[in-house]
Structure 1
Amino acid sequence: MSPWLEKQRHLIDFTLASLARRKTRNLGLLLVYTLLVFVLASLTLFSNALRTEAQYVLAGSPEVILQRMVAGRHDLIPPGYLDKIGRIRGVQKKEGRLWGYYYDPVLNANYTFMARPASEVADGMIMVGEALARERGLAKNNTISFRSYSGKLFTFEVAAVLSPDAELLSADLVLLAEGDFRRFFEYPEGHYTDIALSVANPQEVRNVAAKLTAALPDSRPILREEVQRTYQSIFDWREGIMLTVLAGAILAFAILAWEKAAGLSAEEKREIGILKAIGWETGDVIRMKVWEGLLISLTAFLLGFLTAYVHVFHFGAAIFEPVLKGWSVLYPKFALVPAIDGLQVATLFFFTVFPYTAAVLVPIWRAAITDPDAVMR
């Protein structure tokens, strides 16, 4: 082992022994420090995992969704719109969609009704999401009745419960035949809720949207990238809300850490004086105290980050879940796939480790250059 490494090893050994002599104080600081890193790391990991999940889910959505606007509100797509869209270059596939919301007074929850072709769902049959089936106690071949907004009662048989793997998308979903959908919501023939478009060249999505707006002035094209940005903004906003709520605790810790690092106790000053008296150089004293700050901050960072990882990806981030995920009566159950952003981890490391370590330098330097006899007196 090189002399420099040997020297650092001895400094670390002495630093650990010094920390052990003041274990109550240092353990208290370490606990608070770890808790702060745990909270910040949990927010970072959870928000990033949700963003990644949203990107993955939305990757399969249509490139363009076309809505018709009347007096600034979303209205039904009338007959003829699909024919007009078909003459626009760049549009590879178009599909009129039928969907709407239904309020169920039994659960006090909203369901999403969506029409599917007869090849997928037969008349009189429905397919329901896992969360809906769980809350209503439904299984295959069960029957369920819904009263439409016109007051008519419709009874359906459950053809299947959708896969739990898709619960994030289908928690409150009810799939039914197109004819049943039109009768339930009294939709006129040829009308649709919106139109989903596929564009052959992803680079031409904005050009196609501009052509749609020019050809259909009362339409509003919604791009997939705009939906993705909206979700990103929502998660950023919610993360900011949590950080604002925790700002007081973060500030309190910053004051505590600064006071601990910037103010030396009489015992620590006496220890430095003794080390200087027995031949330690000023640089050795400073390096010893820097190692002390690094050992505390690195231990707190590692413990806090690992605890946050377990909290987020093994326990579903139970502490922050209602705020960052949102809330609903029919809440989907899904496991987050671990997604770690190296830049975010590096930023968290920098702002939690380096400030505390740097804060020890000035008071240690002042004590280290003071005459040992004066320090010990």
Structure 2
Amino acid sequence: MKRFLSLLAFALASLIRRKRRSLSLGFGLLLIAFLLSAALLLHDSIRAEYERLIPGMAELSVHQLRGGRPERIAGDALKELESHPGVRSITPRVWGYLYLPPLSANLTVMAKNGDPALPTILDGTLPDNEGELTIGDRIAHSLGLRPGDSIALPGAAGFQLFTVRGVFTSDSSLLAGDLALFTEKDARSLLGYDDELYTDLAIALSAPSEANAIAARIEKLLPGARIVERSAIERAYALSFGQRAGFLAALLLPILGSFLLIAWDRLSGSSDEERYEAGVLLISGWEFRDILTFRILESSALSGIAAALGISLAYLYLFIFDAPLLADLLLGWSSLHPTFKLTPMLHGSQLLMLVAILVLPFTAISILPAFRSANVDADALLRGGR
């Protein structure tokens, strides 16, 4: 161990002596480490956010279709299913979309009883009377609204004036960033819904494992209905964010490959100084394997330090500065895309994967150049001078 530590100390000293080469190679590797780490860590952090929200969603949601297009559904369409032991509750929901010209974006309109999980993540109050609403943080930020302010919304029967009663916190932005919550009567008025007709039915199950069996029963009761399972929504989230993060990471791999080729070219061209140094070390009593180990440790230390700095900078960029630009690429460019405080996600498996991608290839390409620089005729080299 003492021998290894001595070789490592000598390798670090060698990096300091060759500052220009060390800085150029180290900066390139640091930049790649930063970008790759940021993409992967951001993906894992967003995945943790939607995995936290998924359990609060209904296990099944049922939509009536006609001609392949969604149609409103009667609240008692699945009355026969209420007595099923696997069904805990069936909640008719009124919701839809309202286009806001000032934002060039859609507002999600929902009746207050549409999602019982929302009050648990609310900062403010829910709408208790007609003419009141509670809005998501992105809408409030984009339109400069606060509790007590008024807003006119274009409904099915013309513009209607509402008073803001509350604003959802940024912690719920992924779920409620573009949401506006109303009383059921106001939601129906804005969307042009008749009484007793709803957008869909949310079904809570006693045992989520029975989702497939309940879905099969619903298909018999409502032929042609579209049944969306919570597990399908989870897969859609994972696929959407996973594809974007994977695309960013895939773009960086050719850059990493190009950098390794440049590094190979730089490392392969052993300078006279390096060969002379190897000759001096051999004359001083060093063995061939010691010089080879020292050269490999030199490359490993350089790549390890650059990777550690890159990962650390990525951590600060994501979880201190909230990942400007990169978060937009993964979350979308909509004016109402969600904003939330990213939860730090850094596991041992992630670090091992990043080390394998960043440090091991750089160390591997240094083995042959290290072998060449260590394999010198010390006597001939020293007699010939530098």
Q: Residue in 2 aligned with 1:127?
A: 134
More divergent stretch after superposition (138-147 vs 303-312): 138-147
Question: 1:79 Cα deviation (Å)?
Answer: 4.8
Alpha-carbon distance between aligned partners in 2 of 1:366 and 1:157, rounded to the nearest angstrom: 77
Match of 1:228 in 2: 234
Does 2:297 match 1:291?
A: yes
Matched, 1:201 2:207: yes
Deviating more after overlay: 287-296 vs 111-120: 111-120
Does 1:178 pair with 2:184? yes
Q: 1:120 to 1:322 in 2, by over 3 A?
A: closer
Alignment of 1:207-222 (within 5 A): 207-222=213-228
Identity %: 33
3-state SS in 2 of match to 1:74: strand
Tell me the residue number matched to 1:310.
316
Shift of residue 160, structure 1, vs aligned partner: 2.2
Paired residue secondary structure (1:196): strand
Deviations 1:133-186 (A, max 9, x none): 222232223222122244x22122222223343233222211111112222222
Candidates 84, 92, 113, aligned match of 1:96:
92
Measured after TM superposition, the shift of residue 87 of structure 1 is 4.4
* 1:310 Cα offset (Å): 0.4
Deviations 1:276-304 (A, max 9, x none): 22221111111111211121011011111
Contact 1:261–1:356 (8 Å) recurs in 2: no
Q: Secondary structure at the match of 2:285?
A: coil
Q: 1:95 to 1:276 in 2, by over 3 A?
A: same
Following superposition, the deviation at residue 247 of structure 1 comes to 4.3
Give the AA of the match of 1:146. Answer: L
Could you tell which deviates more after superposition, 194-203 or 274-283?
A: 274-283
Distance 2:64 2:204 in 1: 18
Q: Identify the residue that residue 21 of structure 2 maps to in structure 1.
A: 25
After superposition, the Cα gap between the structure-2 partners of 1:348 and 1:144, relative to the gap in structure 1 and judged at 3 Å, is: same
Aligned to 1:115: 111
Could you list the per-position Cα deviations for residues 55-78 of structure 1 after superposition, in whole angstroms to 9, with x for gaps in the alignment? 112221111111122222222113
Q: Which residue of 1 aligns with 2:119?
A: none
**Shift of residue 312 of structure 1?**
0.7
Matching residue within 62, 65, 74 for 1:69: 65
Q: Supply the AA of the counterpart residue of 1:130.
A: D
1:249 and 2:255 correspond: yes
Q: SS where residue 353 of structure 2 aligns?
A: helix
| Alignment-derived partner of residue 371 in structure 1 | 377
Aligned counterpart for 2:148 among listed residues 141, 144, 150: 141
Q: Letter of the aligned partner of 1:166 in structure 2?
A: S
Q: Deviations over 1:325-374 (max 9, x none)?
A: 21211243311011124323211111211121122222322443442234
Q: Which residue does the alignment assign to 2:121?
A: none
1:42 aligns with 2:28: no
- Corresponding residue for 1:13? 9
SS at match of 1:189: coil
| Alignment-mate amino acid for residue 288 of structure 1 | F
Match of 2:352 among 317, 340, 346: 346
State the alpha-carbon separation in 2 of the partners of residues 364 and 349 from structure 1. Answer: 21
User: In structure 2, how many angstroms separate the alpha carbons of the residues matched to 1:161 and 1:319?
Assistant: 25
**Which segment drifts farther, 220-229 or 84-93?**
84-93
**Separation in 1, partners of 2:211, 2:269:** 60
Q: Which moved more, 1:50-59 or 1:244-253?
A: 244-253
Native 8 Å contact 1:82 1:96 kept in 2: no
- Comparing 138-147 with 222-231, which one deviates more in the overlay? 138-147
Deviation at 1:93, TM superposition (A): 0.9
The residue that corresponds to 2:342 in the other structure is 336
Distance between the aligned counterparts of 2:95 and 2:232, measured in 1? 21
Equivalent in the alignment of 1:161: 167
Alignment check: 8 A CA contact 1:367 1:375 kept:
no
CA distance in 2, matches of 1:246, 1:113: 40
The TM-score, its normalising length taken from structure 2, stands at: 0.90
| CA distance in structure 2 between the partners assigned to 1:319 and 1:263 by the alignment | 39
TM-score using structure 1 length: 0.92
Structure 1: segments with no counterpart, 5+ residues: none
The alignment partner of 1:308 has SS state of helix
1:273 counterpart residue number: 279
Asked if 1 retains the 8 angstrom alpha-carbon contact of 2:95 and 2:108, the reply is yes
Q: How many residues align?
A: 372
The CA deviation at 1:229 is: 0.9
Say which is worse superposed, 14-23 or 42-51, in terms of deviation: 14-23
**1:259 & 1:10 partners in 2: Cα distance?**
28
Judged with a 3 Å threshold, the aligned counterparts in structure 2 of structure 1 residues 265 and 215 are, in CA distance, closer, same or farther, namely farther
Corresponding residue of 1:324? 330
Give the Cα separation in 2 of the matches to 1:238 and 1:58.
Answer: 20
User: Gapped runs of 5+ residues in structure 2?
Assistant: 115-125
Which secondary structure does the structure 1 equivalent of 2:33 belong to?
Answer: helix
CA RMSD of aligned residues (A): 2.1
Structure 1 residues 306 and 187: alpha-carbon distance in aligned structure 2, compared to 1, 3 A threshold:
same
Q: Tell me the CA shift for residue 245 of structure 1.
A: 3.6
**1:17–1:124: structure 2 CA closer, same or farther, 3 Å change rule?**
closer
Question: Does the alignment pair 1:84 with 2:80?
Answer: yes
Q: Deviations over 1:10-53 (max 9, x none)?
A: 22232222222211111111111111111111111111101111
Structure-2 change in CA distance of 1:158 and 1:18 (3 Å) = closer
